[in-house]
Amino acid sequence: MSNPLNRRKFLGAAGAVGVTTALASCAPAMGMGQAKPNLDATIFNFALNLEYLEAAFYLAAVGRLEELDSVGGNSSKVILPAGFTGKNGDGVKFQSADVRAYANEVATDELNHVRIIRKVLGFGAVAQPTLDLGPAFAAAGSAASGGAITGFNPFANDLFFLHGAFIFEDVGVSAYKGAARLLSDTSAGGNLENAAGILAVEAYHAGMIRTLLYQLRDTQVTPALKVSDVVQAISNLRDSVDGTLDVDQGILENGAANIVLADSNGIAYSRTPRQVGNIVFLAVDAVKGGFYPDGLSGDFSKILAL
């Protein structure tokens, strides 16, 4: 975003939201027939809620959570495991310098996603909701493992951090993919193009996390569970709440590496906002709970019904 021209093009998307809304409202009077409802601002605010969560998770992991405040977030509304602040260098005690470097890079990307989406939305950007990165992870870990893993803390070590990241990353990719059909502004440098750009970055993140976990696939997490088993259990948990379709996969498929989460045509899966909500709330048809104990910021009734 250091290029002024690119920055102006991206920020121009905010104006495009308003222009498209105006055209949609005028369409019937202009004899243009049924106009596609403009949900761009709603979709971007839904995405902003997800980006707040990812940014908080990665920033806390590398001890930079205070930086969330600098882009309009609120680090005081992030629930963390007892005794862990995620601020001023108090992050995961990484054993691997490489994993620490990856975590720092992703933290910066997610922080920038919050920053740019808020700029696109302007005064319409929703505030950060309360985010649960403590008990919610413990609940997810217990549910995924059938109670074999209790008190799961993604900030405890490198491996648990990677498992925590795995819970989010594939969901972000499928969420942006599923939202593509709902966006109205398809102009050059507009909302759809920029959402696709964020999707691509999230896919890079997902591929990185899946690769790192694959390399550790035979590491024992518990006496009965290897890394590949835990990853598959997390995948199964996501599939159990997001609907009837099987659109999730672990890092092994028929015994072979499965780094890229895609269908038989090599195309990334889509999730509707409702399916994404089910995962982050850790319950079917819920409107709050899980990682968002008080719910999302904003009214998403129109898109949760799609």
Convert the pLDDT of each residue in 41-51 to its tens digit. Answer: 999 999 999 99
Tens digit of each residue's pLDDT (9 = 90 or more) over 184-229: 999 988 899 999 999 999 999 999 999 999 999 999 999 999 999 9
- Helix (DSSP H) and strand (DSSP E) numbers for the chain: 9, 4
Residue 273 one-letter amino acid:
P
Strands 131-132, 78-79: parallel, antiparallel or unpaired by DSSP?
parallel
Share of the chain above pLDDT 70, in %: 89
Return the closest-CA partner of residue 226 out of 163, 164, 170. 163
Q: What was the pLDDT predicted at 36?
A: 72
Other C-beta atoms lying within 10 Å of the C-beta of residue 266: 7
CA nearest neighbour of 234 among 173, 107, 146, 155? 146
| Integer CA distances (angstroms), 140 to 4, 149, 167, 282, in order | 42, 10, 9, 7
At 33, phi and psi to the nearest 5?
Answer: 80, -165
Contacts of 136 (CB under 8 A, 6+ apart): 79, 282, 290, 291, 293
When pLDDT is cut at 50, 70 and 90, the band that residue 34 belongs to is low
Q: Which two tokens stand for residue 262?
A: 């895609």
By three-state DSSP, how is residue 254 classified?
A: coil
Taking the C-alpha atoms of residue 127 and residue 116, their distance in angstroms, rounded to an integer, is 14
pTM, rounded to two decimals: 0.88
Q: What does the block give as tokens for 306?
A: 């799609």
Please name the residues in contact with 258: beta carbons below 8 A apart, sequence gap of 6 or more. Answer: 210, 214, 249, 250, 251, 252
How confident is the model at residue 26, as a pLDDT?
43
What is the pLDDT averaged over residues 102-107?
A: 98
Question: Which amino acid would we find at residue 98?
Answer: D
Between 222 and 1, whose confidence is greater? 222
What was the pLDDT predicted at 76?
98
Question: What secondary structure letter does DSSP report for 67?
Answer: G
pLDDT tens string 122-174: 999 999 999 999 999 999 999 988 888 899 999 999 999 999 999 999 999 99
Average pLDDT of the chain to the nearest whole number: 89
Provide the pLDDT for residue 137: 96
Write down the pLDDT at residue 12: 47
Task: Using alpha carbons, select from 259, 142, 275 the residue that is nearest to residue 205.
Answer: 259
**Phi, psi for 257 (deg, rounded to 5):** -60, 140
Read off the tokens for 300.
């998403």
Q: What would the pLDDT profile of 235-274 be if each residue is shown by its tens digit?
A: 999 999 988 878 899 999 999 999 999 999 999 999 999 9
Sequential DSSP letters for 186-232: -STTSHHHHHHHHHHHHHHHHHHHHHHHHHTTT-BSSSS-BHHHHHH
